[in-house]
Amino acid sequence: MINTKTAITILWFTLTCVICFGSFVLKNQVHDLETELSKINNNIQKDVKTIHILKAEWSHLNNPARLKKLAAEHISLNKVRAEQIINYSALPFQYENGGIDIPASGINNKEYKKLVKAER
Amino acid sequence: MLGVTLSQKNNNFYFPGRTPDSSGINILFEETQDAGAIRICRQRMLTAIICFLIVYFIIGFRIISVCLVDGIHIFTPVEETFENEMYANTPISRADITDRNGVLIATSLPTVNLYANPKNVRHPEDIAAKLTTLFPEISFNDLIAKLTRKKTSFSMIKYNLSPAQQAAVNNLGIPALEFQKSEKRIYPHKNLFAHILGYTNIDNLGLAGIEKSLHKRLTESSKPLQLSIDIGIQDTIREELLAAVEEFQAKGASAILMDVNNGEVISMVSVPDYDPNLSIPVGNHSLFNFATQGVYEAGSVFKTFNTAIGLESKKVRIHDKFDATKPIKVQGITVSDYRGENRWLSVGEILIYSSNIGSAQLISRVGKEAQRQFLINMGFSQPLSDFETYEKGRPLFPSKKNWRDDTMATVSYGYGISITPLHLISAFSSLINGGIYHYPTIIKDNTATQPARRVISEHTSKDMRDLLRDVVIYGSAKKANIPGYQVIGKTGTANKLVEGRYVDKKVITSFVSAFPKDNPQYALLVIMDEPKGNKKTWGFVTSGWNAVPVGGKIISQIAPQLNIQTDFDLDVQRQHVRAAFVH
């Protein structure tokens, strides 16, 4: 017959063992996590360094003179002229009516058709 | 000992939280018959208890602070801390420099320096032979000298190795060779920002430009330094200046574009320039930043200030006429006009035909005191010491004693006082922006700059804009009359002073302009140093033939980039639309 004192002693002993084991497991987990964290931090540092170098390279590749040369070779775009910037109201469409094209007065039909075609 | 004694005597086991009754202890210690020991024991127990309590209290406090107080920060918005964390992770110690849109224009790359520890060197010849195969530019004898240096454990062999070079040295497996972390400053856009940025030496110490003047800021904070310069505009202006220098065989050229409403410099170019990535010999002409260092007599562009003094003083009205029929003599000097009109000229015509005689007549009504004070107010008497680039010129401003009547006359048309282009554009901006002088700056949203101040009334400023528009429509700046942008401006051609004499053929031409007239946003100054005449210019070297067309070309290209609205009528715009589809 196990008396109360013995039961309590066993309980204390078990609790101590459980706590010891728990602490051991926890410590191991923390250790693993710390290793993982330091790996991640190292990777972050490496990535940051790489990104930094890539930023410098990106800036180098975006040199306006280089872009101008590439644009001249591959796309036929010219510099914007002052006349090319116009107000909406100068366009022969009325955009207020839900985007429906209504010819403005003063534009003949042939020209209007050309513009509508161009807009498409 | 205590527990064992107790349990033996009373067969008692004390659980945590339960204390032995006093009788038990007394029985025990009565038996030991040592009251002194009991006291000492109690004291020690008390001390131990207090110590433990303190430790537990600290631990408890820390747990609460970690869980509750520090934990609160986890829930702070990401935006607040994101920027700081981002820059804290930067792998370099010198901050980047960006343009106004965030484009990187100066940065550092993490590198390593190779050094040797001579104390660990066993076979210097072998090491030197291996290293010279990797770095042929280092001489064998130099290496031997470095490797056999005595009484030192550090001998630098090569700065800034590339990762491939570092791997190659590692593969040699020589224990005496070691690496030191370092970084190398690079300028991805080479010459484009040369005079603005300056450069650093091998130890990353700023030696010129912003790198020198803001060295402390760049090394103390890793947050990128954002300039007010726009890379696109800078490139456009530099390209036009290089073309102009080529076309007119000029010694150099410079241009500054300024936001007239806050004094921010959007572009600042001076050619010839240099590549800051390469080492530059000291004293080289290309190191000279004409825009901030070049102190010169501005010539006729100064008539703009002369007119403003007259109008602001209210002693001259806009419709007043002045006798410019013949040259005048002031204290022994003769004031005459270049291709003069030889008639009475209005205030506007003095500017349109750039009359020296008219200008001298106009200022004589105001007086030299008011003239000098006005020019001091415009900032012409002092260097712009708070401007951020390191290289700055000191104006040549006559003292009050030397400011005689002839000085008054010559200053009225831009001689006898020398300023830098930066002085000129800052003061010009204040004349046309409604009368507020903004101290020039090259830092975006700079709050540390000097406060703005009123220098002329809004009314005078408006009159000046009207007069300067006429100069572009009818006067010497016709070639800069870009349709749609209402350009205003004034030209100037100043003879250069060579060995104390003005030389006719050596000139500095200037064109100072702003756009659009009704709501000026930007001011542009173009200066050419010793342009030559050619077939296209009929041999002329005056500003209207070189600086003005260059200014016009620049404005026509940058105005659309700067989102300046054109002032074409609706009908004209419709014509443009039609024309676009017809072609």
Q: Is residue A82 part of a domain?
A: no
Q: Is residue B105 part of a domain?
A: yes
Q: Percentage of chain B with pLDDT > 70?
A: 90
Q: Which residues of B touch A59 (CB under 8 A)?
A: 103-105, 107, 188-189
Tell me the C-alpha to C-alpha distance, in Å, between residue B488 and each of A3, B323, B401.
Answer: 108, 26, 36
B573 reaches A (C-beta below 8 A): yes
Quote the CA–CA distance of B252 and B222 in Å, as a whole number: 36
> In chain B, which among 168-197 make CB contacts under 8 A with chain A?
186, 188-190, 192
Select from B193, B226, B259 the last residue of a domain: B226
Q: Which residues of A touch B101 (CB under 8 A)?
A: none
Q: Is residue B68 part of a domain?
A: no
B334 and B199 together in one domain: no
Domain count, chain A: 1
Q: Is residue B387 part of a domain?
A: yes
B221 and B357 together in one domain: no
Q: φ and ψ at B524, to 5 degrees?
A: -125, 135
Q: Is residue B32 part of a domain?
A: no
- Structural domain span for residue B291: 234-570
Q: Is residue A89 part of a domain?
A: no
Q: Does B272 or A93 have the greater pLDDT score?
A: B272
Classify B414 in phi/psi space as left (phi over 0), alpha (psi -120 to 50) or beta.
left
Q: Are B228 and B266 in contact (CB under 8 A)?
A: yes
> Cβ B576–A83 below 8 Å, yes or no?
yes
Confidence of residue B6 (pLDDT cuts 50, 70, 90): very low
B376 and B511 together in one domain: yes
Residue A53: which of B109, B189, B578 has the nearest Cβ? B109
> Cβ A89–B104 below 8 Å, yes or no?
no
Q: Which residues of A touch B107 (CB under 8 A)?
A: 52, 55-56, 59
Whole-number pLDDT of residue B563: 86
B450 and B543 together in one domain: yes
B450 reaches A (C-beta below 8 A): no
Whole-number pLDDT of residue A100: 45
Q: How far is B104 from chain A (nearest CA, A)?
A: 6
Which secondary structure element, helix H or strand E, spans residue B466, and what is its range? helix B458-474
Residue B566: which of A65, A82, A106 has the nearest Cβ? A82
Q: Are B186 and B109 in contact (CB under 8 A)?
A: yes
Q: How far is A98 from chain B (nearest CA, A)?
A: 22
> Cβ A92–B577 below 8 Å, yes or no?
yes
B390 and B244 together in one domain: yes
CA quadruple A35, A40, A45, A50: dihedral positive or negative?
positive
> Cβ B109–A52 below 8 Å, yes or no?
yes
Quote the CA–CA distance of A47 and B197 in Å, as a whole number: 28
Whole-number pLDDT of residue B88: 54
Helix axes B356-366, B303-313, angle to 10 degrees: 30
Quote the CA–CA distance of B416 and B409 in Å, as a whole number: 9
Range in B242-256, B429-443, B456-470, B531-545 the model is least confident about: B531-545
Confidence of residue B44 (pLDDT cuts 50, 70, 90): very high
Q: Is residue B67 part of a domain?
A: no
Q: Is residue B182 part of a domain?
A: yes
B212 and B329 together in one domain: no
SS3 B545: helix
B69 reaches A (C-beta below 8 A): no
> Cβ B576–A86 below 8 Å, yes or no?
yes
Domain containing B220 — which CATH number?
A: 3.90.1310.10
Quote the CA–CA distance of B258 and B264 in Å, as a whole number: 6
Q: Are B444 and B226 in contact (CB under 8 A)?
A: yes
Q: Is residue A63 part of a domain?
A: yes
Whole-number pLDDT of residue A38: 94
Whole-number pLDDT of residue B18: 64
Domain count, chain B: 2
Quote the CA–CA distance of B359 and B345 in Å, as a whole number: 10
Whole-number pLDDT of residue B449: 82
Select from B200, B226, B252 the last residue of a domain: B226
Quote the CA–CA distance of B317 and B314 in Å, as a whole number: 7
Which secondary structure element, helix H or strand E, spans residue B575, and what is its range? helix B570-582
Residue B357 pLDDT > 50: yes
- Structural domain span for residue A53: 1-76
Q: How many CB atoms lie within 10 A of CB B259?
A: 21
Whole-number pLDDT of residue B70: 60
Q: Is residue B12 part of a domain?
A: no
B11 reaches A (C-beta below 8 A): no
Per the listing, tokens 């589809």 go with: B581
B222 and B238 together in one domain: no
Please compute the mean of the pLDDT values over residues B527-552 and round it to a whole number. Answer: 86
Q: Which residue of B has its CA nearest to A66?
A: B189
B239 and B122 together in one domain: no
Q: How far is B189 from chain A (nearest CA, A)?
A: 6
> Cβ B573–A87 below 8 Å, yes or no?
yes
Whether the complex's predicted ipTM surpasses the cut of 0.85: no
* Per-residue pLDDT tens over the stretch B66-102: 777 665 555 555 454 555 555 556 677 889 999 999 9
Select from B177, B209, B226 the last residue of a domain: B226
Q: Which residues does B407 contact at the CB level (< 8 Å), separation at least 6?
A: B368, B398, B416
Quote the CA–CA distance of B337 and B325 in Å, as a whole number: 10
> Cβ A90–B484 below 8 Å, yes or no?
no
Whole-number pLDDT of residue B305: 93
Whole-number pLDDT of residue B446: 86
Quote the CA–CA distance of B267 and B240 in Å, as a whole number: 13
Please compute the mean of the pLDDT values over residues B470-492 and round it to a whole number. Answer: 89
Q: Which residue of B has its CA nearest to A46?
A: B91
Residue-wise DSSP of B64-96:
HIIIIIIHHHHTS-HHHHHHHHHHHT-S-SSPP
Q: Which residue of A has its CA nearest to B553?
A: A81
Q: How far is A118 from chain B (nearest CA, A)?
A: 8
B407 and B529 together in one domain: yes
> Cβ A86–B577 below 8 Å, yes or no?
yes
Range in B17-31, B396-410, B481-495, B508-522 the model is least confident about: B17-31
Residue B8 pLDDT > 70: no
> Cβ B576–A114 below 8 Å, yes or no?
no
B333 and B285 together in one domain: yes
| Segments of chain A with pLDDT less than 70 | 1, 93-120
Provide the mean pLDDT of chain B. 86
Domain containing B434 — which CATH number?
A: 3.40.710.10
Whole-number pLDDT of residue B4: 43
Whole-number pLDDT of residue B225: 92
Q: Is residue A66 part of a domain?
A: yes
Q: How far is B77 from chain A (nearest CA, A)?
A: 22
Q: Which residue of B has its CA nearest to A105?
A: B574
Confidence of residue B326 (pLDDT cuts 50, 70, 90): confident
> Cβ B568–A86 below 8 Å, yes or no?
yes
Q: Which sequence positions of B are flagged as catalytic? A: 300
Q: How far is B188 from chain A (nearest CA, A)?
A: 5
Please compute the mean of the pLDDT values over residues B440-454 and round it to a whole number. Answer: 89
Q: Which residues does B382 contact at the CB level (< 8 Å), separation at least 6?
A: B395
> Cβ A56–B566 below 8 Å, yes or no?
no
Q: Which residues does B396 contact at the CB level (< 8 Å), separation at least 6?
A: B295, B417, B418
B297 and B433 together in one domain: yes
Confidence of residue B2 (pLDDT cuts 50, 70, 90): very low
B305 and B364 together in one domain: yes
B342 reaches A (C-beta below 8 A): no
Q: Is residue B521 part of a domain?
A: yes
Q: Are B353 and B340 in contact (CB under 8 A)?
A: yes
β-bridge mates for residue A81, sequence order = none
Residue B460 pLDDT > 70: yes
Q: Is residue A72 part of a domain?
A: yes
Q: Is residue A54 part of a domain?
A: yes
The closest alpha carbon to B162, from B199, B109, B93, B201, belongs to B109
Residue B188: which of A49, A60, A82 has the nearest Cβ? A60
Q: Is residue A19 part of a domain?
A: yes
> Cβ A52–B561 below 8 Å, yes or no?
no
Whole-number pLDDT of residue A94: 58
Whole-number pLDDT of residue A117: 62
Q: Which residues of B touch A91 (CB under 8 A)?
A: 577
